Amino acid sequence: MKKSHIYLLPLLSLVILLYSCEDMGKKQHHGSIVLDDSSNIVTETNTKNLQDMVTDLHPDIPVSSAAADTAKPVEKKPVGDTQQHTVVGNTAQAVLPEGLNVAFKEILFSIPGINTKTYRKQNLEKANGATYELMSGSLNGKQIRIGNGTVSKVAERYQTIVVLKNDLGTLPLESLSNVTDWEELKGKNNIYAIMGLSEKLESADITSASLQKAIKIAGRKHHFSRRTEQEWIRSLRNTRNNRHNITVALRSVIWKVDGKDAAGKNFSKQVRVDLPAPAFERE
């Protein structure tokens, strides 16, 4: 009896195994896929299985230098005040009063107490000279103040013309001009007094021949008729007897500053101030 149980147990296991294989074969066969058949649609709800298996690429592309520069905001520098400057010299720092202030790269050239204007835009960072026109104030008795660089010498020269005045009117003779030699100015602590402009001014040689030639040149400028020109020439007879009818007018003053800049390099700068020309007037 015990032996029969031993033989039945393997037989029963074999029957169960055959039944299971037949059932699994039926479940795995789903037939052909039919479009729009909802039974063939599988919806995944597990978020882990929905993740993208391809890694997103974020390449590190360097920005070009040109693009980087355009992206940076441009810093705006404040515009400097051309009327007031700080003096740096042997004396303590001070702010200059209103006047002529010429800010060269190497030095600051100033004449307080006058009003000037420029003829054109001047690049003082590169220029060795600058020109202005006197609008108001007088150069007599004024001072030149130099800031920044080390000054070795300041010199002055001026230009004059002859003016003829009599019963016919006032006639500036621009062709009778004269430019003086350089004369060194005295000063200390970078302050120099303007000299020689209130005394007797030097002029060109005044002779009968030079006056007649100058009258003809001025006559063409002012469109004199032949008769008017001869009237001015004949008036010279009375002028020779009355010398105060011939005057000398100051037309421009030039200053030259020699020295060394902050880096020890030699420089030479010139500043010219023109005075208004005497007006031609008919009596």
Angle at 157 (CA atoms; ends 151, 158), nearest 5 degrees: 140
Distance of CA 194 to the CA centre of its chain: 30
**Per-residue confidence band for 203, with pLDDT thresholds at 50, 70 and 90:** very high
What is the mean predicted confidence (pLDDT) over 153-176? Answer: 95
pLDDT per residue over 151-164, tens digit each?
999 999 999 999 99
What residues have CB less than 8 Å from 145, skipping those under 6 apart? Answer: 87, 89, 96, 109, 110, 111, 112, 190, 191, 192
Query: Where are any strands of DSSP class E within the chain?
Result: 86-87, 94-95, 99-103, 107-112, 115-118, 129-136, 143-148, 150-166, 169-179, 183-184, 187-188, 191-193, 246-260, 266-274, 281-282
What does the alpha-carbon distance between residue 101 and residue 105 come to, in Å, rounded to a whole number?
13
What does the alpha-carbon distance between residue 254 and residue 273 come to, in Å, rounded to a whole number?
7
What does the alpha-carbon distance between residue 1 and residue 270 come to, in Å, rounded to a whole number?
141
Q: How far apart are the first and last CA of the chain?
A: 169
**Mean of the per-residue pLDDT values of the chain:** 76
Q: And the tokens for 115? A: 């009003």
pLDDT per residue over 231-251, tens digit each?
999 988 776 555 668 999 999
Taking 60 as the threshold, does the pLDDT of residue 23 lie above it? no
Give the pLDDT score at 198: 80
pLDDT per residue over 251-279, tens digit each?
999 999 999 988 889 999 999 999 998 99
Sequence spans of domains, the chain: 86-282
